[in-house]
Structure 1
């Protein structure tokens, strides 16, 4: 009996020490710079938004927030790095809505999109825009679809980040629903993909307004359609895919921040509070609006439910379409 009592006391002491450590960590967090890992090359939509949030979040945390670009393999290199990082709030992951489909597209990954991460906050949402170079003969989405039907597999499109991105999945969903065939040409991010598109290496591209808008406004790119149910406020003259070709077609891109699973709830709560405060700043909302991004926010649980539902939706679609990594 005495032995059991001693074991219980030791267990209580250990649990108390663990709780005290977590509480102390929460009180001192952050005590050093925070890394925000981005799975895409600089210059693309995810990178642009990550840097905007990082700059403002650094002020709220009173510590530098360093954007760490780790492009490649459909952002799975960056995601794997953060999944294996210490769960202390100092290594975070900036994700896009292609993230939930990664485990279906790459079944041998060592992380799970739901179990391996602690949701922090949704940053925002945006349409995908279909674009072609200004010199392209395609004046409308209908022109693209007609050309693809006449010469199956001849047209190609730029995919920033490879196959596990919202932009490439939007293209694949369009191919399936419109019954056309186009070839994916993968790049390490939307920045390199746009460069290739402007250079005439590919026929068309699927991108987020935050990175494509400057080229559209300068006349270097022509926007043919957006993938959301409603037209984008920053591209009001550009019709939706549903208006033009595929009724009920909808793909919405979103962005958010994750921490490794096991990160103390108090640290996640602090990060969530500060991200929400950043997104409420008038200058940030104005900047997001100019980029065609609707501000996000909400609780970690809200973001977690979105990831859960999108993991099932994208996973089912990837398996149904038989998509493979490029």
Structure 2
């Protein structure tokens, strides 16, 4: 479930070059960790999830006695990297940095060698990223309701793009179409968000309900038109774009999100220590500034219990939709 963004690599390099967020004097003490920590990121290096993972890892390295090193393990969506953690050591040396992709694994894959719930312990929800509904400038609809009316009038006539079948963009769009009355709009999957944008700009795509970080600049410069944002409140980066609820589709919310997970069996004391360190990193103003640049809404008060509750709610939300529409992995 990869979501790529052209131009975000420089943020990743900045994260790598940045000094530790927390001063060395504030480093956590204790028996854990006694060796460098592997943070498995099941997404490609240089993409937005990898950038955020490296930013968090740099901050954690300033909080803990040992460094936290990001290791990219991609393949079969997020299955390969997730399996590494599920079957990895239970000593607190290996953790998973994942997204909404984790919540649909059971629905997308029938032959997993691990269970996304039973074999993991959520540690902390780090932040959420809303989705931005964009249309090309030739589309006559000037509001969400006008777009819905257009789709209803000519079912199957229009196309929407996604960053890949079974990905966050695909999920969010199908949820929108379902909640708006089972609208019929053709799905055109791409290998990431970046390849889809030219087709939106030149009119080959009608709509793109994209990760907000990938769409803000095109809306700001007037290259596309933003109609709605999928969060509960408006984005400070695009204050004139209404939420879906404000635009006439109450109850619609969709995010991709960033979460730390431990393999099941890691001692609770270690999970609690990592949770406290992660929250401290997210509270740091420099992390919050960089998250804002990536349109990530930080969550600095997560507990293992609230993270587990979030994951369960997301699975309850997405799994029935995946199965109902017969969604398959990219």
Normalised-by-shorter TM-score class: 0.7 to 0.9
Secondary structure of 1:242's counterpart equals: coil
Of residues 40, 43, 46 in structure 2, which corresponds to 1:39? 43
**RMSD of the alignment, in Å?**
2.9
Q: How does 1:155-170 map to 2 (within 5 A)?
A: 155-165=158-168, 167-170=169-172
Deviation for aligned residue 1:182:
2.2
Of residues 299, 304, 307 in structure 2, which corresponds to 1:300? 304
Q: How does 1:1-326 map to 2 (within 5 A)?
A: 27-39=31-43, 42-44=46-48, 46-61=49-64, 63-133=66-136, 139-165=142-168, 167-178=169-180, 179-191=182-194, 193-194=196-197, 197=200, 202-297=205-300, 298-326=302-330
| Change in 2 beyond 3 A, CA 1:306/1:209 | same
Q: Distance in 2 between matches of 1:304 and 1:139?
A: 39
The more displaced of 170-179 and 65-74 is: 65-74
Report the structure number with the largest CA radius of gyration.
1
> Which ranges in structure 1 are unaligned for 5 or more consecutive residues?
1-25
Q: Distance in 2 between matches of 1:187 and 1:103?
A: 23
Q: How many residues align?
A: 299
| Partner deviation per Cα, 1:275-299 (whole Å, 9 max, x = no partner) | 1110111121233234333221321
| Partner deviation per Cα, 1:76-123 (whole Å, 9 max, x = no partner) | 333233222223333322222342122112232222221111211110
Secondary structure of 2:31's counterpart equals: helix
> Which ranges in structure 2 are unaligned for 5 or more consecutive residues?
1-29
| Change in 2 beyond 3 A, CA 1:231/1:259 | same
Deviation for aligned residue 1:138:
5.3
The more displaced of 314-323 and 262-271 is: 314-323
Q: Distance in 1 between matches of 2:290 and 2:243?
A: 23
Give the TM-score normalised by structure 2.
0.77
Give the TM-score normalised by structure 1.
0.78
Secondary structure of 2:246's counterpart equals: helix
| Change in 2 beyond 3 A, CA 1:117/1:49 | same
Q: Which runs of 4+ in 1 moved over 6 A?
A: none
Q: Distance in 1 between matches of 2:83 and 2:241?
A: 37
Q: Distance in 1 between matches of 2:58 and 2:201?
A: 29
